[in-house]
Chains A and B, each alone.
Chain A
Amino acid sequence: MAGVLTTSGVLIQMKVRMIAHSMNGTRASGMILGGLAGLVLAAGTIILAGSGVVAPALRADLTAAVFAVWLFGWLLGPIYTGGGDESLRPEQFALVPWHPAKLAIGLLCTAFAGVPPLISLVAFSALAVHAAGFGLAALAVSIPAVVLQLVLVIVLSRLMIALLGRAIRSRASAILAALVNSFMNAVLNQSWVLIWAAIELDLLNQGLPPAVSTVVRALPSGWGLVAVEAAGRGAWPLVAAALAGLLVLIAVALLGWSRMLVRRTTSRPLRPARPLASPLPAEGTVSAVAAKELLTWSRDLMRTHLLYFSIFFGVLYTAAPLIIGWPGMLPYAGTLVVVMAAATSANLFGLDGTSLWLSLVHPGVERDEVRGRQIAWLIKVAPVAIVLTVAGLVLGGEAWTWPWALALLAATLGGGAGLIVLVSVYLLVPVPEPSKRGGNPLEAGNIFGLVLLMLLLTPVTALPAVGVAVLGQALGLPVVLWAAVPVGGVTGALLAGWFGRLAYRRLRAQGPELLSRMRGGAGEPGVRPAYGQRVKLPPRTNALVTFLWIFCWIPLFPQGLVPLYMIFTDSPSKLWFLALHVPSPYQIPIAVAMSVLGFAMLYFGTVIPRRYERLQGTRDQASGNGADADRGARPHTHA
Chain B
Amino acid sequence: MPPALELNGLCKHFGGKAAVDGLTLTVPQGSFFGLVGPNGAGKTTSISMAVGLLRPDGGSARIFGIDVWADPIRSRARVGVLPDGLALPEQLTGRELLTYLGRLRGLDQATAALRAAELLDILDLVAAERTLVIDYSTGMRKKIGLATALLHGPRLLVLDEPFEAVDPVSALTIRGMLRHFVAGGGSVVLSSHVMALVEQLCDHVAVIDKGRVAISGPLADIQAGGSLEDRFVELVGADLQAGRAPSWLAS
Which positions in A face B, CB cutoff 8 Å? Answer: 271, 273-280, 282-283, 285, 288-289, 291-292, 295-296, 299-300, 352-355, 357-358, 360-365, 368, 433-435, 512-513, 515-516, 519, 522, 524, 526-528, 530-531, 624, 627-628, 631-632, 634-635
Contact = CB atoms under 8 A, between A and B. Distances in A.
Given A291-B100, A512-B55, A358 B15 contact: no
A274 B73 contact: no
What 6 A-B pairs are tightest by C-beta distance, nearest first?
A: A363-B73, A353-B87, A288-B103, A299-B91, A355-B87, A434-B90
A357 B96 contact: no
A274 B100 contact: no
Contacts of A295: 91-92, 96
Interface residues of B, number: 55
B130 A363 contact: no
Nearest to A522: B87
A358 B72 contact: no
Nearest to A268: B135
B40 A526 contact: yes
Interface string B14-46: 110011011000000000000000001000010
Nearest to A515: B53
A434 B83 contact: no
Contact of A434 (B45, B55, B79, B134): B134
Interface string B105-136: 11001000100000000000000011110110
B104 A280 contact: no
Contacts of A277: 93, 95-96, 99, 129
B88 interface: yes
Given A277-B95, A360-B52, A635-B22, A433 B104 contact: no
B51 A435 contact: no
Contacts of B106: 285
A352 B87 contact: yes
Given A277-B95, A292-B100, A355 B90 contact: yes
A358 B91 CA distance: 15
B11 A362 contact: no
Interface of B: 9, 11-15, 18-19, 21-22, 40, 45, 51-55, 57-58, 72-74, 76-77, 79, 81, 83, 85-93, 95-96, 99-101, 103-106, 109, 113, 129-132, 134-135, 141, 148
A358 B11 CA distance: 23
Contacts, number: 139
Contacts of A433: 87
B44 to A, nearest CB: 9
13 contacts: A280-B99, A288-B100, A289-B104, A291-B100, A292-B92, A361-B52, A362-B76, A435-B141, A512-B54, A526-B40, A527-B45, A528-B15, A624-B58
Given A292-B92, A363-B72, A528-B15, A513 B100 contact: no
B58 A628 contact: yes
Contacts of B90: 300, 352-353, 355, 434-435
B203 to A, nearest CB: 25
Contacts of B18: 631
A296 B85 contact: no
B49 to A, nearest CB: 9
Given A299-B91, A628-B11, A280 B100 contact: yes
B93 A274 contact: yes
B14 A530 contact: yes
A220 B104 CA distance: 56
B135 to A, nearest CB: 6
A530 B11 CA distance: 13
B53 A530 contact: no
B74 A362 contact: no
B177 to A, nearest CB: 19
A627 B93 CA distance: 46
Contacts of A278: 96
A353 B91 CA distance: 12
B130 A516 contact: no
Candidate in A355, A361, A515 with the most chain B CB atoms within 10 angstroms: A361
Nearest to B149: A361
Contacts of A634: 21
B67 to A, nearest CB: 14
A631 B58 contact: yes
Contact of B51 (A275, A280, A283, A361): A361
A296 B53 contact: no
Given A288-B104, A528-B14, A528-B15, A355 B76 contact: no
Contact of A363 (B74, B88, B109, B113): B74
Contact of A515 (B54, B73, B92, B93): B54
Contacts of A300: 90-91
Given A364-B73, A434-B134, A631 B91 contact: no
Contacts of A530: 12-15
Contacts of B76: 361-363
A292 B131 CA distance: 16
